Amino acid sequence: MRTVEWNRDKVCLIDQRVLPAEYRVLQLETPKEVAWAIRDMAVRGAPAIGAAAAFGLALAARRSPARDRAGLWRDLEEAAAVLRAARPTAVNLAWALQRVLNRVAAESDPQGMRAAALAEAQAIADEDVAINRRLGEIGAALIPDGATILHHCNTGALATVDYGTALGVIRTAHEQGKRVHVLVDETRPLLQGARLTAWELQQLGIPFTLIADNAAGHFLRTGQVDIVLVGADRVAANGDVANKIGTYKLAVVAKENGVPFYPCVPTSTIDLSTPTGDDIPIEERPAEEVTDLTFRGKPIAPAGVRVANPAFDITPHRYVTGIITENGIAYPPFTVTLKRVVLSTPKRNKDAAATAPSC
Ligand code: MRU
């Protein structure tokens, strides 16, 4: 199945909290349950949470008892606010909700609004898969045969509706018959690399080696990495990139060692209304995510320690070689080239980002 899909009036998700030990599918019946799944990271990754939120709004439309347009609109706005608040950094979440609201706003009666909400959510999900395939083709052109690729977090099928972004590039290169090897950062504290990326690569038969996050600098300095590929949760207008905590360190060390560093993003992750990385909200997550690991059966930290747990960091654009999108690769100066790749997106997406709901 896809990571997120609509099935018989429910939102179905692969529960990413329990992989790889267990493959479990959640069936969600209310927008509040979808918001919970996003917050608790049962579903995660910027494109996947965007699609999940869009389906959450379709659920809200289905379940609302409202019989008139104004009542249904109120219920949808309320549900959108709950979903939007679930995670603050990935712009795809707000983008997808706005796109569904814009489509619904064009309808004149509740029946049309309900149908439109689901149709738009489904379109977002279907387009995500097609976008990732295109992005994969474009990015794979940068991967030489025999390349070793350093990858952070999880950007595969699980982080999207299907196929993946940075991992999609790697997958395309592999499908093209190139021999690639992936160094998989474990990605503390929630171990998306060790748990999810390793699981996906294993299923795809793509050779990889799991490394502790702290080892990445060693591999970069000793010439064992040809290219660094990551995803992103939001790209600011100047090319600053918000991505999983630890990305900034990788980018700096990559530049120091002359290794190219490319975030791979659908254009829905590029937020031209956010001028710089300093304007991107960084999600702070619960302390238990850092402390609730065990080492030889015992907690890894003394009880009651103070913890800081920012989920993302900002990589300033000077460390970014280029940004791979489904519309081509943006190179510096990003203030010019990011506009170009966003504006070459098919019209429907642009409208969604630009139009305020009119109810
Ligand atoms: O906290 P997460 O696991 O949702 O963070 C995910 C990432 O940082 C990914 O790199 C990003 O969302 C891009 S996924 C295609």
In order along its 359 residues, the chain shows pLDDT tens digits of 999 999 999 999 999 999 999 999 999 999 999 999 999 999 999 999 999 999 999 999 999 999 999 999 999 999 999 999 999 999 999 999 999 999 999 999 999 999 999 999 999 999 999 999 999 999 999 999 999 999 999 999 999 999 999 999 999 999 999 999 999 999 999 999 999 999 999 999 999 999 999 999 999 999 999 999 999 999 999 999 999 999 999 999 999 999 999 999 999 999 999 999 999 999 999 999 999 999 999 999 999 999 999 999 999 999 999 999 999 999 999 999 999 999 997 655 444 333 222 22
State whether 119 and 138 are in the same domain: no
Average pLDDT value over all residues in the chain: 95
What CATH code is carried by the domain that includes residue 140?
A: 3.40.50.10470
pLDDT tens profile 42-58: 999 999 999 999 999 99
End-to-end CA distance of the chain: 36
Cite the DSSP H helix spans in the chain.
Answer: 31-39, 46-63, 69-84, 91-105, 110-140, 166-175, 192, 198-204, 216-221, 247-256, 288-291, 334-343, 347-354
Interatomic CA distance for residues 114 and 111, integer angstroms: 5
Which of the listed residues 44, 190, 315 should we mutate to test ligand 1's pocket, taking the one with most ligand atoms within 8 A of CB? Answer: 44
Amino acid 299 reads P
Local structure of residue 142 (DSSP, 8 states) = T
pTM of the entire predicted model: 0.95
Do residues 54 and 124 lie in contact, with contact meaning Cβ atoms separated by under 8 Å? yes
For the CA of 49, the closest atom of ligand 1 is 4
Answer whether 173's CB lies under 8 Å from 147's CB. yes
**Which domain, by its residues, includes 271?**
134-343
Residue type, 232: A
Same domain, 193 and 237: yes
Ligand 1 atom with the smallest distance to the CA of 165 is 15
How close is the Cα of 192 to the center of ligand 1, in Å? 9
- pLDDT tens-digit profile of 51-106? 999 999 999 999 999 999 999 999 999 999 999 999 999 999 999 999 999 999 99
Is 159 in the same domain as 258?
yes
Task: Pinpoint the alpha helices (H) of 283-324.
Answer: 288-291
Structural domains of the chain, count: 2
Question: Which residue of the set 162, 185, 213, 233 is catalytic?
Answer: 233
Q: Does 248 share its domain with 306?
A: yes
Q: Does residue 353 fall inside a structural domain?
A: no
Domain for residue 349, yes or no? no
* Span from the CA of 116 to the centroid of ligand 1 (angstroms): 28
Nearest partner of 91 among 200, 231, 203, 188, judged by Cα: 231
Does the annotation mark 145 as catalytic? no
Establish if 36 belongs to a structural domain.
yes
Residues 271 and 332 in one domain: yes
- 90 CA: nearest ligand 1 atom: 12
